[in-house]
Chain A
Amino acid sequence: MSRQYETVIGLEVHVELATKTKIFCACSTEFGSAPNTHTCPVCTGMPGSLPVLNKQVVEYAMAVGLATNCKINQYCKFDRKNYFYPDNPQNYQISQLYLPICHDGGIEIETSSGKKVIGIHEIHMEEDAGKLIHDEWEDCSLVDYNRSGVPLIEIVSEPDMRSAEEVTAYLDKLRLIIQYLGASDCKLQEGSMRADVNLSVREAGSGQLGTRTEMKNLNSFKAIGRAIEGERARQIELLEEGKAVVQETRRWDDNKEYSYAMRSKEDAQDYRYFPDPDLVPVMISDEWIQKVKERQPELRTEKLLRYRKEFDIPQYDAEIITASKKLADIFEEATAVCGKPKKVSNWLMVETLRLLKENDMEPEDIRFSPENLAKLVLLTEAGTINSTVAKEVFEEVFARDIDPEAYVEERGLKTVNDEGALRETIAGVIADNPQSVSDYKSGKEKAIGFLVGQTMKAMKGKANPSAVNKILKELLQ
């Protein structure tokens, strides 16, 4: 039997903040624009340009620090991290090394093996780099500085995680907190949340940490899970062969499920940090901290408690809904309009989750407005449409955010409540289906289902099914 190994994992999570402008200039942070259309002398590193700090960045960083139980460094500074790369226009990144804004915090996670606190070593503010696009035609790279200078916070955990499950739980929790704060949308795929994994292995029971590697390029929870398994196996194999793990940065290739060392002669990894002389220190007063605290939105735990008190919905539903800031927002806003929390919750729990899954979407990708969901609830509650029609309408709400009232009106989907017309149709159905009628009369109760179906079909789905049932039974007596 081979030796038992323990995996030790720490994460460096980069989160793009939801500010309107970049960290050091007044360029927009908007995503997906034409190359270099959100640039200026500052974020393209023009000679003579100077950075000026966006106040909102400090407030978001403080908010995340407070929500993750960090201490705030009331005197913090920016440092330059010097390295050459074309996505980094000044060839230094403005970051924080010596006095980061937050330090010594932690968050509680829950996994199959119970609850556990993951320590947060520090949170610092820095600027994002531009984007490099490889040009296949000319065998060159093209640089777009639209992302250059977009504000980031880097959340550095302690090496407190032991498994991919813990890592996922930690990331989930972190993401939820940050989304609740409105500090970022935290989309891994779009890169607004990125995680680098520091991993080492050691023999179980050993008190010393092994040599760690840092893995980059992890852009989904699944990739992170696979990378952890892959790197753990690679390191154990090295140790089993009596070889040493080299401290290095590795790039995860999720297609090949293997990581590659990112080393070159030209990459000395000596960043020559020093305080940026172009920026002045940030002093954070107790009053400022208090102000940010007071503005802090309700987080999930508080929300759960309030939902139990305010809305009579099952604990399970409340947990699912509050697990996404977006779902919780839709729930509250739709409920405020229609006053039917249970109905709103049902739409979210059943149809919404189903459609999200079918379309491979995250709740954050939802585009419909809470008002339209509320209108749909009200239409159903008033009996204006029946539940079959409602589901159909909801699919349209989900896909195109249509106004249910107008949609129902235009397509003539209202339930027919004219009993005379209904009786007439049912009489016709009875006349057209003598076999089913005699089946029913001879005791085959199920036959009535067929007759109801035929009636609904004749009414183009717009009849109230219980009314159809009642009239049918009456006429067949």
Chain B
Amino acid sequence: MSILSLTAVQLGQKIKEKKISVREAVEASQEQIEKLDSTLHCYVTTDAKKALEQAGHIQKKIDEGTLTGPLAGVPVALKDNLCTEGMLTTCSSDILGNFVPTYTAEAVRNLERQGAVILGKTNMDEFAMGSTTETSAYGITRNPWNTDHVPGGSSGGSCAAVAAGECFYALGSDTGGSIRQPSSFCGVTGIKPTYGTVSRYGLIAYGSSLDQIGPVGKDVADCAAILEAIASYDKKDSTSVKRESYDFTSALVDDVKGMKIGIPRDYLGEGLDPEVKSAVLSAAKTLEEKGACVEEFDLSLVEYAIPAYYVIASAEASSNLSRFDGVKYGYRTKEYDGLHSMYKKSRSEGFGPEVKRRIMLGSFVLSSGYYDAYYLKALRTKALIKQAFDKAFQKYDLILGPVAPTTAPKLGKSLADPLKMYLGDIYTISVNLAGLPGMSVPCGTDSKGLPIGLQLIGDCFQEKKIIRAAYAFEQTRSYEGPNLDRVKGGEEA
């Protein structure tokens, strides 16, 4: 059994038992990167030397007995919007092409305290704006299951890296589905935690009221362990929530008896690929067979989530991204005539089309005369969407549905029609608006052999319910990875 077939928690255990050294684990990942990443392009930055050095330090601490956590020594990949001291952090944008932070994101520090070895930074849609990882300024990432397809986005690099064994687990961020959708497309497991669970300090903001960092792993147990490691109350983040408990792994129990699960009829209607629908419903059936009570219900308001989201996220983004101006860090245009010319040229040259599109939209909806009609209207819609979920959770422990209407589309098909691409987020976006936890778990493949993800949504702070149901479901099937020989053989046509 090769090292790469181990999950993060299994590897951690073997390292602890001294059956595998941290160095071996790091080298295994690095070999895989070496082998596949020229094709897949999961990473924008790697630092092999630093990772090996880190491996040595961590091995020493494990041997001394000072590092005992389940993830000690396990190599990780980080989405490139998480600040890492001394390591390039670009958000896959030219405007941050040379940005080396002097501080590390709190979630990453939490991992470092647990003995994580950082392999590098993963590709993403520029500033997390996109659903395919095709808006990256540094080139596309390919789906390890079929390299003609996108890995999803925006955390496409993280999810593809986990699926391809180029790391043992990864961190992503989710503003409108950016962990769950690429997890679904890449056949891995990902959690978007309740808003406020993982500190946003050091996460380069897109939509501050929606952004959450979360784990991407091979299975549910990995995700629970990673979430336990990264979640913390952080005084540096005013929106951080002091939770009663940061234990998630105790929910890894194969028992859903009596659990009430609702499937929104609104999630099964027009636009949903029949193969996805049948895989999701069959997963629901499996849970029912294990003793859960499953029924369909009307969630309502689903079609309003996307417009509300694009108003709120774009508005916040237009303000969050105004700091990229060529003054303090990042890209400054070479030729300019005065201050405003410097601003405009640096930003216009530094940002890609999708980012500009959202900054323009966001600036417009906040501009004089439109604030009430667009921004406040969207915040009111958000309140109604939250109410709809509150009502549902009075009745159900969990909401079950698809992650995305389809499996991974082919490369180059999505960006031509942005609005259509946005519609692909229909099942994930309302979860961010309502601050809820959501998870993507593999539940099969379609006729093209592309993975399908099952989404489980819980009420605020109810990650444990999701984890339990996901774990119970996972016990009924074995982990299925992509056929990586095809990646290697298929040096793209």
Contacts and interface: CB of A to CB of B under 8 A. Distances in A.
Interface residues of B, number: 44
A452 to B, nearest CB: 73
B83 A47 contact: yes
Nearest to A269: B368
Given A46-B328, A143-B327, A274-B371, A92 B322 contact: yes
Interface string B454-474: 000000000000000000000
B375 interface: yes
B238 A51 contact: yes
A89 B324 CA distance: 9
A50 interface: yes
Interface residues of A, number: 29
B325 A279 contact: no
Nearest to A42: B236
Please classify the interface of chain B as helix (H, G, I), strand (E, B), loop, or mixed, using the class held by over half of its residues. Answer: loop
B238 A280 contact: yes
Interface string B204-223: 11011100000000000000
A48 interface: yes
Contacts of A91: 322-323, 325
Interface in B75-117: 82-83, 89, 91, 96, 99, 101-103, 105
B209 to A, nearest CB: 4
B204 A47 contact: yes
Interface in A68-120: 80, 82, 84, 86, 89-92
B200 interface: yes
Nearest to A87: B327
B103 A50 contact: no
Interface in B302-355: 315-316, 318-319, 322-325, 327-329, 339-340, 343
B185 interface: no
B363 A52 contact: no
B99 A47 contact: yes
A47 B319 contact: no
Given A48-B203, A50-B200, A270 B367 contact: yes
Given A53-B238, A280-B238, A48 B201 contact: yes
B96 A47 contact: yes
A9 B481 CA distance: 73
B340 A44 contact: no
B224 interface: no
Given A48-B201, A91-B322, A272-B319, A278 B328 contact: no
Given A89-B323, A274-B319, A279-B238, A46 B201 contact: no
B480 interface: no
B339 A272 contact: no
Given A41-B103, A92-B319, A274-B371, A48 B327 contact: no
Nearest to B344: A266
A45 interface: yes
Contacts of A279: 238
Nearest to B208: A277
A49 interface: yes
A84 B239 contact: no
Given A48-B82, A277-B207, A279-B238, 9 more contacts: A45-B323, A48-B83, A48-B103, A52-B235, A82-B318, A270-B367, A272-B368, A278-B208, A280-B238
Q: Which 4 A-B pairs have the closest CB atoms?
A: A272-B366, A91-B322, A277-B208, A277-B209
